[in-house]
Structure 1
Amino acid sequence: MKGWPVKKHSWDRKLHSYWPMRQDISIRNDIVMVGDKIIIPQSFRRVILEKLHLAHQGVQHTKAKASKVLYWPGMARDIETMLQPKHQPEPLIPHQVPELPWMKVGADIFELNGQSYLLLVT
């Protein structure tokens, strides 16, 4: 409310990432904004990430939509972290080699360049 200090290093380190955009930060209706984006405080980011996760439409789409109206330092990284699947590597299970074709079949569905595929292994 009183403006920015003359020297960047004379104030709280948490605010350093806002220094380059300091001229674009304003307050509208008691909401802190940078340009037309709402600056989300640290204490509310988890709630926003959970809301974004509910409407999960892919990492890139979610980041693009969020970046139109929201801002906080590291937001893209936080969205990626929240939306990336938490895959645990599955243990390898040894099996006997089948004697004839089609005695054992493996299948998986995967996506490549937006196209879904069914992979069969015999």
Structure 2
Amino acid sequence: PFQNELSYAYGVVIRGAKLVIPSVLRDRMCQLAHEGHPGQEVMKSRLRERCWWPLMDRQAVKVCDSCEGCRLVQVEAPPEPMNRRPMPDKPWVDLAIDFLGPMPTGEYILVVVDYYSRYMELEVMRKITAQETVSRLKKLFRTWGN
């Protein structure tokens, strides 16, 4: 499909305003664009500014992926920031519930924290089952409401 976009002038093949790089020079062009280990996107941008060849982006990615220097300095993207929860209007509307354990005794602790007041309830449990958890939560709700 790109053959119709090529032209020949002054001994070089061009596509639009960009030089079409012969296959024997493509590795060297990649080396030049890769100086300083800029990463895939910058390297592809450098190449796209002035030249073109079929599958150029793929070759740039391959160069970066196989570069030991790039792998050593590659920084992983930071994790997404946590979203803040809206503050509840009153106590015992929004709760955090989790288990802690097993403890050295083999027991677990059911931890319930009220987001509004930061009040914490702890319930020691011998084993974690849905039935026992619901029973303990019902007891807390009878005591504190909602």
TM-score between both structures, scaled by the size of structure 2: 0.43
TM-score between both structures, scaled by the size of structure 1: 0.51
Mapped to 1, the partners of 2:39 and 2:26 lie a distance apart of 19
Please state how far the C-alpha of 1:110 moved relative to its aligned partner: 4.4
Which of the pair has more CA radius of gyration?
2
Could you give the per-residue CA deviations for residues 13-53 of structure 1, whole angstroms, max 9, x where no partner exists? xxxxxxx1223211222111011111111111111111112
Residue 29 of structure 2 is aligned to residue 48 of structure 1: yes
CA separation of 1:50/1:56 partners in 2, compared to 1, >3 Å: closer, same or farther? Answer: same
Mapped to 2, the partners of 1:36 and 1:111 lie a distance apart of 36
Residue segments in structure 2 that go unaligned for 5+ positions in a row: 69-73, 79-146
Match 1:72 to one of 50, 53, 56: 53
Please state how far the C-alpha of 1:59 moved relative to its aligned partner: 0.7
CA contact (8 A) 2:33 2:46 kept: no
Residue 77 of structure 2 is aligned to residue 112 of structure 1: yes
Aligned residues: 73
Mapped to 1, the partners of 2:59 and 2:31 lie a distance apart of 11
Secondary structure at the counterpart of residue 38 of structure 2: coil
Secondary structure at the counterpart of residue 27 of structure 1: strand
Secondary structure at the counterpart of residue 47 of structure 2: helix
Match 1:35 to one of 3, 16, 36: 16
Mapped to 2, the partners of 1:25 and 1:110 lie a distance apart of 39
CA contact (8 A) 2:7 2:14 kept: yes
Residue segments in structure 1 that go unaligned for 5+ positions in a row: 1-19, 88-108, 114-122
Structure 2 partner of 1:93: none
C-alpha root-mean-square deviation of aligned residues, in Å?
2.2
Mapped to 2, the partners of 1:86 and 1:50 lie a distance apart of 11
Mapped to 2, the partners of 1:110 and 1:21 lie a distance apart of 36
Mapped to 2, the partners of 1:63 and 1:110 lie a distance apart of 18
Could you give the per-residue CA deviations for residues 70-112 of structure 1, whole angstroms, max 9, x where no partner exists? 111111011011112556xxxxxxxxxxxxxxxxxxxxx9432
